[in-house]
Structure formats: structure tokens, C-alpha cells
Amino acid sequence: MPAANAEDVDRAVAAARQAFDHGPWPRMSVEERADVLRLAAAYLREHKEEIAKVITSEMGSPIAQSLSVQVPRAYQIWEYFAGLGKAFQWTERRDAYDVVN
């Protein structure tokens, strides 16, 4: 049985829209956003044993796999995207010819 109903989903979507439109994220610089992602990765690293236990209890995977693969992969993904912001080409200059063709 689902733990949420359609009204719960609507409220969650409205709260997310409100947070995105009026919260700090859209006004943050790339580096500030990267800092948030790095903090999330650091939290996962610091709490890897606890998180691995939750993963194991929910999925039934061996604790060794949760500790050696699943949790590290999670913080590696956060770290990857934190670093991607610096390397991503946010603007690109094109000649009119390139746009037409």
C-alpha cells in the first residue's frame, strides 16, 4: 500500500517548486552549488557505516557490498558532479554560419 496519496504528491511538488523559485539555489554561483554537493558527499563518507546498514536492511544486500560499493559509489557521484561545474562549458560562442548549418 502506498504511503502517500495524490494530495501528498501535489503538496510535495508545490513545495519543491516554491523552494526552487524562491530559495537560494537558483541564485547561487556554480562554486557555491559545488560546495553544497561536496558537503553532501562528505556527509555520506562520514556516515558510511550507518548508511550501509540502512541499505542492507532495505535491500538485503550483503553489508560488505553496501560498504565497499553502494555507499562509496553514492559519494563518488556527488563529488563528480561537484567537480563537473568547473569543467563544464557554460557558454559557447558560435558564428551565425554554424547556427544556420
User: What is the distance between the alpha carbons of residues 77 and 101, in angstroms, rounded to a whole number?
Assistant: 36
The reported pLDDT for the residue numbered 92 is 80
Predicted confidence at residue 95, as pLDDT, reads 78
pLDDT at 100: 62
| Residue 49 CB contacts under 8 Å (≥ 6 apart), including other chains | 67
In-domain check, residue 82 = yes
pLDDT for residue 91: 81
The reply to whether 16 falls in a domain is no
Instruction: Determine, yes or no, domain membership for 92.
Output: yes
In a domain, residue 75? The reply is yes
Distance CA 21, CA 56 (A): 36
Give CA–CA dist 12/60, Å, rounded. 29
Tally of domains in the chain: 1
Cell output for 73: 559509489
The reported pLDDT for the residue numbered 24 is: 94
Domain extent at residue 85: 30-100
- pLDDT score, position 93: 79
18 assigned to some structural domain: no
Divide the 101 residues of the chain into consecutive groups of 10 and give the mean pLDDT of each group.
Answer: 88 95 92 95 97 94 96 96 86 73 58
- DSSP element (H, E) containing 14: helix 6-22
